Amino acid sequence: MLLRPLLCAFSLLSLATTVLAQQPDRPVAVVVPAAGRPASPAQSMQEFDQLIAEPVREARRTLAEAQRRYQAGLRPGETFYLTTRVQDPDGTFEQVFVLVRQWEGPYVQGTIANALEAVKTYAAGQEIEFTTSAVLDWTLVRANGAEEGNYVGKFLDIQRRLDALDR
């Protein structure tokens, strides 16, 4: 099954990813070879997009309300992240958590909040700009560590647990 190689590769890469303080618990770093053969970056992206399609749809469905909440102001100790994808010129991609600094209409500015493992032309702490059409997920982290959103991360956590039961 294609799901197992994807999840195994994702698990290894996400466990290796160093996460900065006070951010969602699992950044997504993926360069996934298909079962038994090397995959091109474009093929890896397509396979991973198929895997996460449903949680991405839910995140995008709820994004406008999340934006309203962000723009109304965060409580002390809360942080707000958007998940997007960065890509090297050769097509190698990685999903990153971006600590949102400014969000006006469809335009977002923020700082990459996790270490990158696969992509070399971006780095943790780097300022980036993108539009909401590039958003794959959103996460509000409360002062006590509880999360809202993070649909993709929660989905992948569940898939890893289910996959572990199959072994």
Nearby residues of 23 by Cβ (< 8 Å), 6 or more positions away: 79, 81, 97, 99, 113, 114, 141
Q: What is the DSSP letter of 34?
A: B
pLDDT digits (tens, 9 = 90+) for 2-29: 444 444 334 333 333 323 333 454 444 4
Domain residue spans of the chain: 3-166
Cα gap 9→14, rounded to integer Å: 9
**pLDDT, tens digit only, all 167 positions of the chain:** 444 444 433 433 333 332 333 345 444 444 445 456 667 878 887 888 899 999 999 999 999 999 999 999 999 999 999 999 999 999 898 999 999 999 999 999 999 999 999 999 999 999 999 999 999 999 999 999 999 999 999 999 998 898 888 87
pTM, entire model = 0.76
